[in-house]
Amino acid sequence: MRFAQVIVDVSAYPVDRPFDYLIPEDWEELIDIGCRVKVPFGPRNVLGFVVGIVAESDVPVEKIKPISEILDLESILTEEMLSLAKWLKHQTICYEIDALQVMLPGALRAKYEKYAVLLGEVPQLPQMLQPYFEKAKKVNLAQFEKANLLKPLKRAVKDGLVNIENEVKQKGQVKQVRKVQIYSREQIEEVIGQMGKRAPKQLALMEWMQDHAGAIVLPEQIYEAVQVTSSVLNSVIEKGAAAYIQEEVYRDPFTKEVVKTDFLQLTDEQDKALKKITEAIDEKRQETFLLHGITGSGKTEVYLQAIQRTIADGKEAIVLVPEISLTPQMTERFKSRFGDEVAVMHSGLSVGEKYDEWRKVQQGKVKVVVGARSAVFAPFKNLGLLILDEEHESTYKQEDSPRYHARDVAIWRGNYYNCPVVLGSATPALESFARAKKGVYTLLTLSQRAKNQALPTVQIIDMREQLQAGNRSMFSEPLMEALRDRLDKKEQTVLFLNRRGYSSFVLCRDCGTTVQCPNCDISLTYHRYQEKLKCHYCGHDEYIPETCPECLSENIRYFGTGTQKVEEEIHKLFPEARVMRMDVDTTKQKGAHEKMLDAFGRGEADILLGTQMIAKGLDFPNITLVGVLSADTALHLPDYRAAEKTFQLMTQVSGRAGRHNKLGEVYIQTYTPEHYAIQLSKDQHYTPFYEREMHTRHIAGYPPYYYIALIQVSHEDVMFAAEYAGRVAEYLRSNLSFNVSVIGPTTASIARLQNRYRYQCLIKYKVEPNLIPVLLQLIKLYRSEWIKKGIVLTVDLDPTMI
């Protein structure tokens, strides 16, 4: 008898451990470590992952239930992935099942469908439900949802007539095509020998096949080459000269034609950096490099050549980029260097496309993956290099369980495969640069632009002075002048609106009320095209009220500096300018972003106006002016990284100008021109900024000097939420050491979200060996008792927003 140790998909169990299941004798050869199975857990069937197979179990045999179904005939998780999941579980305090699922493409994650199962007799049911159960005892819940019958169904459940059951649904369809496998010359010869000379078409076909012995071809190729019909091909196959086979095909999301590019002659600095990296590759040594290079210094070329080395060694490489659907130019550079060896993984792909890209990696069909955060889990088995471009970006941290940082996972995998990890940035995260200074990472520096272009000149414009001079527009005089100049010269401009912490909302001019989301403590945002107000957190939308909901005044209108409003103002100021607006509204459709960028590259617009999403990766020769409309909007958010993020963004944005032959100019508008984050971004002075910001963090007691952890508690009832947050704080204070500070409970920065009230406690510490055990104990308490009361508790050991 053999038993499978299974991690089950149940995220509300006090203990997170594998459970033993009996492997039915017939399946002993089929079930492997890393396969998914269905197993009974309590009254239902759930999905599980086999993490071990043993000959003995501690549980008495009669109590062990058998596995009910096998979902995979080949392992989908390697041994490496299973140990990575264990590490993630401890590192981020999450359920092991969450860690396992995060490594898989959406198509392979647990999906459950709900069914209503009839327990009683049809006539006992309310009239409107009866037709549904006449033919089947089990009906998909979606049908009742569609017909708006959930309420009567719920009553039937209460009356014990119907039961709701979850069923694991299996996705991840491999797409296949039928091809023809042509056998060997000798084999075909033999078939011909047995045939005589009666069927000239079949003979012609087999002669052609002899010239293509061993090949795998599409039937259509044969029809065309030999001018025969499918019946001729079928007869030849029947006689044994060839066979039909099913071959896997991939939906290729990257349809654009790419031109092959060659290696560039490296600059001295690039060459030096590459040598250090290839040394580590050659010596099969884990080493983490921080490649600090100013914008346009040619970091990407270093990545490309390091990857080339890795592939030449017969190994594989992963390249992470912050949000790949926003950086099509970057993807193209990898595709044009490595062609079909590259798989692309990002959120813009359909579930099927994502699955196919993942399969290509799993089957060893590609050597390089370029992708967003989750691509760090690409199932390569012989990794030789991991790269994080723009390593400071906050998108590398996942905000749901498991709350992992891609940088940590990359380094873990680097250790597993003894291979280097390269972190690249013009503005490294403070903690990364601190680690490089301490020698934990190896610092590599590119201080010059690759083509020796000058950095753009940067002007900081004090908007307070503009206001005093009577300019109420969102464009300062100097920026307007520069814009006019570019329009005359037919050069291009990028205008950047820092929308973090900004939005256009509807405001009553009489009483000052803004229209709020009924579910969240957040003002609704005005969306011009649909003439609607929307909540960006829960998706609620409504029409704009004609009168103020508070004082009934009719003097209610929209206010603020959304991209739409800027666009209108440009039209007023420069009626002849062709403006392209790029924000969440105009880029919703798949591929829209890429299309717009291509059009801008072809010169179809004079001005590209956009939010954060245009800050990265843009590289066009005709952009000579960059304007930042409001640099300081994010400086006053409740986020200890506010200054760092502002500095990073300003540096990024400035880097878009003058990347080629023409000199670039940048105008940064701000109400706080004296702030060091803005002053120091002017000349891309990273080191002075680093020192200044480290000092601030030191005084305020924030990372990288201290570690922080954030515990959040939410409930629909504000009293409940507050009470349990209080219990958390008390628990932490009485169990952690004296030199650990526990701040709170306080309300979260958005106090109510999707109708749940949110409180939080912040832990600041330098060393606290007890932290994890104490938190685990707290989580156990939560999972075994509080969860039943509707409390939701989350723990984040490396929070980005506070």
| Closest separation in Å from C-beta 270 to ligand ADP | 6
Contact by Cβ (8 Å): 737, 770 = yes
| Closest separation in Å from C-beta 651 to ligand ADP | 11
Is the sign of the CA dihedral 215, 220, 224, 226 positive or negative? positive
The region that residue 661 occupies, defined by phi over 0 for left and psi between -120 and 50 for alpha, beta otherwise, is: alpha
| Closest separation in Å from C-beta 525 to Zn ion | 10
Binding status of residue 427 toward ligand ADP by CB under 6 A: no
Q: Find the binding residues for Zn ion in span 503-542 (CB under 5 A).
A: 508, 510-511, 513, 517, 519-520, 535, 537-538, 540
Total binding residues for ligand ADP by CB under 6 A? Answer: 16
Total binding residues for Zn ion by CB under 5 A? Answer: 15
Residue from 90, 137, 275, 451 touching ligand ADP (CB under 6 A): that is 451
Binding status of residue 648 toward ligand ADP by CB under 6 A: no
Q: How far is CA 215 from CA 111, 203, 245, in A?
A: 40, 18, 12
**Residue with Cβ nearer ligand ADP (303 or 702):** 303
| Closest separation in Å from C-beta 560 to Zn ion | 17
| Closest separation in Å from C-beta 556 to Zn ion | 7
Residue 378 interacts, among ligand ADP, Zn ion, none and using kind-specific CB cut-offs from 5 to 8 Å, with none
Residue 648 interacts, among Zn ion, ligand ADP, none and using kind-specific CB cut-offs from 5 to 8 Å, with none
Residue 297 interacts, among ligand ADP, Zn ion, none and using kind-specific CB cut-offs from 5 to 8 Å, with ligand ADP
| Closest separation in Å from C-beta 667 to ligand ADP | 21
Residue from 450, 483, 548, 634 touching ligand ADP (CB under 6 A): that is 450
Position 648, amino acid: Q
Question: What is the signed CA dihedral for 514, 517, 522, 528, rounded to 10 degrees?
Answer: -70
Binding status of residue 270 toward ligand ADP by CB under 6 A: yes
- The half-sphere exposure of 523 on its side-chain side, counting CA atoms within 13 A, is 18
Alpha carbon distance 86, 640 (integer Å) = 31
Binding status of residue 299 toward ligand ADP by CB under 6 A: yes
The two structure tokens encoding residue 540: 């609620």
Residue from 264, 551, 599, 750 touching ligand ADP (CB under 6 A): that is 264
Alpha carbon distance 315, 367 (integer Å) = 7
**Residue with Cβ nearer Zn ion (97 or 515):** 515
Residue 450 interacts, among Zn ion, ligand ADP, none and using kind-specific CB cut-offs from 5 to 8 Å, with ligand ADP
User: Quick one: which segment of 147-155, 193-201, 288-296, 661-669 binds ligand ADP (CB under 6 A)?
Assistant: 288-296
End-to-end CA distance of the chain: 52
Residue 298 interacts, among Zn ion, ligand ADP, none and using kind-specific CB cut-offs from 5 to 8 Å, with ligand ADP
Binding status of residue 801 toward Zn ion by CB under 5 A: no
Residue from 213, 266, 511, 577 touching ligand ADP (CB under 6 A): that is 266
Binding status of residue 684 toward ligand ADP by CB under 6 A: no
| Closest separation in Å from C-beta 382 to ligand ADP | 27
Residue from 48, 105, 253, 293 touching ligand ADP (CB under 6 A): that is 293
| Closest separation in Å from C-beta 620 to ligand ADP | 10
**Residue with Cβ nearer ligand ADP (295 or 331):** 295
| Closest separation in Å from C-beta 446 to ligand ADP | 7
Alpha carbon distance 657, 496 (integer Å) = 12
Alpha carbon distance 21, 14 (integer Å) = 19
**Residue with Cβ nearer Zn ion (214 or 539):** 539
Nearest to 498 by CA among 586, 664, 609: 609
**Residue with Cβ nearer ligand ADP (286 or 453):** 453
What single string gives the DSSP state of each residue in 99-164? HHHHTS-GGGS-EEEEEEEE-S-GGGS-GGGHHHHTT-SEEEHHHHHHTT-HHHHHHHHHTTSEEE
**Residue with Cβ nearer Zn ion (234 or 553):** 553
Q: Phi, psi (5° rounding) for residue 408?
A: -65, -40
| Closest separation in Å from C-beta 425 to ligand ADP | 9
| Closest separation in Å from C-beta 614 to ligand ADP | 15
What's the gap between Cα 764 and its chain centre? 28
Q: Give kind and range of the element (H or E) at residue 233.
A: helix 230-239
Alpha carbon distance 747, 277 (integer Å) = 46
**Residue with Cβ nearer ligand ADP (267 or 654):** 267
Beta strand ranges found along 583-628 (DSSP E): 607-610, 623-628
Alpha carbon distance 302, 275 (integer Å) = 10
Position 161, amino acid: L
Q: Find the binding residues for ligand ADP in span 608-627 (CB under 6 A).
A: 619
**Residue with Cβ nearer ligand ADP (300 or 492):** 300
**Residue with Cβ nearer ligand ADP (387 or 763):** 387
The two structure tokens encoding residue 633: 């909007």
**Residue with Cβ nearer Zn ion (462 or 550):** 550
| Chain position carrying tokens 């030199």 | 739
* Percentage helix, strand, coil for the chain under 3-state DSSP, each rounded to 5: 35, 25, 40
Contact by Cβ (8 Å): 629, 497 = yes
Beta strand ranges found along 202-253 (DSSP E): 216-217, 242-248
Binding status of residue 301 toward ligand ADP by CB under 6 A: yes
Interacting residue ranges for ligand ADP, rule: CB under 6 A: 264-267, 270, 293, 295-301, 450-451, 619
Interacting residue ranges for Zn ion, rule: CB under 5 A: 508, 510-511, 513, 517, 519-520, 535, 537-538, 540, 548, 550-551, 553
